[in-house]
Structure 1
Amino acid sequence: MNTRAQVSEESIANSNAVIKEVGEEGMVLLENNGVLPLTDTTNLNVFGWASTNPIFGGTGSGSSDNSASVGILQSLTDAGISYS
């Protein structure tokens, strides 16, 4: 008995098109132009709730020991950089 799902070529093509579109819309490229690494910066703006409250692991079978993990805000503080 064949229990594998059958996916049409049309579905595969549509899926590939969506994957390509999401990738193109989500990708950001920056030119450095000598800005990085930051040297004389003492204050930064931090954007995005998820960047300031990271989830370092999952739950259940995805759980892990994150007791030594350091988030971006603590990293900035440790580097002597204030943030808003």
Structure 2
Amino acid sequence: MPYRHGRWLLIVVLLGVPLSQCSELQWPEGTPTPTPAQRREALAALGYRAAPGAEWQWAEMSADPDAVDAGPVELFAALDVQPIGGE
């Protein structure tokens, strides 16, 4: 779930599936950080839910690896998921 260009984007990344074919949902520009309930609703709309015991992990990634301490960063969150109704 990266924050880029003023928008939060939820992407369900599946191993072995090209990113261009992964399910995604985008919140409108300027939306504040989606709440846990909004994230659950977005996952459900895409057919997924949090895996048992999974928790959101927040991190930042440098937009420019050569300017780790000086450049802007991208904030993103990750969560292990599973299909609704599946294991």
| Same fold per superposition (TM over 0.5) | no
Task: Return the TM-score normalized by structure 1.
Answer: 0.22
User: Larger C-alpha radius of gyration, 1 or 2?
Assistant: 1
Task: Return the TM-score normalized by structure 2.
Answer: 0.21
Q: In proportion to residue count, which structure has more helix?
A: 1
